Structure 1
Amino acid sequence: MSEKVIRYMPDQIQVRSTGSEEGSSKRTIGGYVVRFNQRSHLIWGEFYERVAKGAFIRSLSENTIKALWNHRSDFVLGSTKNQTLRLHEDNTGLAFEIDLPNNSWGNDAYESIQRGDVDGVSFGFNVRQDAWAYLKDEDVYERTLLEINLHEVSPTPFPAYPDSEVNQRSIEQFGITTKEQRKLEKEQLLLEIDLLALS
């Protein structure tokens, strides 16, 4: 299986607070983890990414998925196991709702999201199936994630990616060429054509 990957998607997180019969309030946040078939920002300067509709179906039926505060496994906000995290695919994307815990990090999350300081969602996953296409007009690749093994979702203020050295190894593992490599190949080909014309 591939290495765990984290993707950040800026999106609007909604906040709701409702009173219960016992007098305590239930605080729920929700929105979309990712919207289907929308192109990501350029990743590592080499490729765009999209998530296909249906990419999460198997994972949602097989996995216990956690909601974490900024990818911190010691700050659990919810879980699909006890339905404090609810995830489902609709025509737009992967929707989520989290009933926040009544503890310090649940309170911090609620306050930061309500103020708008935290307005994005990341998700941690492994790729089960993907497809690559080279977009000649843009000189970039586009990756479509067809099936994702989802582990966790996280409200977070910033994107979280592995360091650039790991990223470069990952690009090479995909078997794609970088812009620099394509430029060198083109220069080599033009040189060979010039040499053939001289002979």
Structure 2
Amino acid sequence: MDAFTRSFPLEDIRVRAGGDGRTVEAYAAVFDTPTEIHDQDGHYLETIDRRAFDRTLQGAAPAGSRSTWNVQVLYNHGRTLLGTPSDRHSIPIGTPVEVSTDNRGLLTVTRYNKTPLADEILETIRTGAVNAQSFAGRFLRSDPGRAPRMGWRPDASGKLKTVRRQEIALREYGPTPFPAYPDASVIGVRAEQLAELLGHMPEDERQRLADMLRTGTPLESPPQGTPAGPPATGDPAPEAGPAAEDPPAHGHSARQQIAWIKLRAEIKARKAGRTL
């Protein structure tokens, strides 16, 4: 199955008292907490089973000649704010000291490296500027199993399907600047595709999206009665097809902005004679 990322807002992420001030404790996942998700599996409620990490932790724990955990610690999954690959963030910022489960979730204890990047992130944790931890991996077993072809969708009454993640292969974890669990899943999913779409954007639009994602607040509203973010001058109107969601009357979210980026990229690709 495809890789997934999940982030949790945790006020109790903290630098452990005593010692050299470089050991951070935080949960990377929370159990039995239904959370609304929008990702490649659709729109649904997700819960993580308290035994979901048992097998992956057994395989990742130090054993034999391996004295360290076989799990990486990366800031924002080794990516930039926009989700594109980052050479700097791809360097591990720390080493796991302990990764275990308790009644609440997946608890991590990490000793941060003595590097400029790790020092910067430690400072943001101390000041409370970053208070979320996330993990990346694969969902190996879920109930129900695979999502329908078009993904999970609310039923006629608006009720969301509940998907229980029963087994997860943990690849890496670390602090993230995105404090909202559902929003972080949108940003983290299909990062490679998003990077390609961003390549079609002018620099000022990329900066606009970066500002919106960093602050988590809506940007200025479009004029009343006009769509949010019209196509650039000279772009043809999109071909008729399934109706998209109406633009909001007041501002627009990161999810809607990304959808509009994809629409514009598809229009330009169509003009160039190719399909994304």
Partner of 2:56: 59
> Partner residue of 1:69?
75
> TM-score w.r.t. structure 2 length?
0.52
Percent identity of paired positions between Structure 1 and Structure 2: 24
Show structure 1 runs of 5+ residues with no match. 20-24, 167-179, 181-199
**Contact between 1:26 and 1:100, CA under 8 Å: does it hold in 2?**
no
Asked if the contact 1:37/1:50 (under 8 Å) is kept, the reply is yes
> How far off its partner does 1:131 sit?
0.5
Distance 1:31 1:162 in 2: 23
Q: Which has the higher strand share?
A: 1
Instruction: Tell me what 2:105 maps to.
Output: 93
CA distance in 2, matches of 1:152, 1:8: 12
Give the match's secondary structure for 1:30: strand
Per the TM alignment, residue 16 of structure 1 is displaced from its structure 2 partner at its CA by 2.3
Match of 1:103 in 2: 115
> Are the counterparts in 1 of residues 15 and 21 from structure 2 also a CA contact under 8 Å?
no
Query: Among 47, 53, 57, which residue is 1:50 paired with?
Result: 47
Q: Where does structure 2 lack aligned partners over 5 or more consecutive residues?
A: 61-69, 79-88, 146-151, 179-183, 194-242, 244-276
Name the SS for the 2:55 alignment partner. helix
- Of 124, 147, 161 in structure 1, the residue corresponding to residue 167 of structure 2 is 147
Q: CA deviation at 1:119?
A: 0.9
**Correspondence for 1:7:** 6
Report the Cα distance in structure 1 between the residues aligned to 2:36 and 2:53, rounded to whole angstroms: 21
Q: CA–CA distance in 2 between the matches of 1:118 and 1:161?
A: 17
What do you get for the CA RMSD once the two structures are aligned?
A: 2.6
Residue 129 of structure 2 corresponds to: 117
Aligned residues: 158
Report if the CA contact (8 A) 1:128-1:149 is conserved: yes
**Equivalent residue letter for 1:147:** E
Shift of 1:138: 4.5
Q: Which amino acid in the other structure matches residue 115 of structure 1?
A: T
Q: Secondary structure at the match of 1:95?
A: strand
CA apart distance, 1:97: 0.9
Give CA deviations for 1:46-76 in whole Å, capped at 9, x if unaligned. Answer: 1011100110010011131111111116231
Residues 16 and 27 in structure 1, CA contact (< 8 A), matched pair in contact too: yes
What is the aligned counterpart of 1:161 among 188, 194, 204?
188
Select 1:35's aligned residue among 26, 30, 36.
Answer: 30
Q: How many Å apart are 1:162 and its aligned residue?
A: 2.1
Cα separation, 1, equivalents of 2:144 and 2:175 = 28
Using the size of structure 1 for normalisation, the TM-score is: 0.70
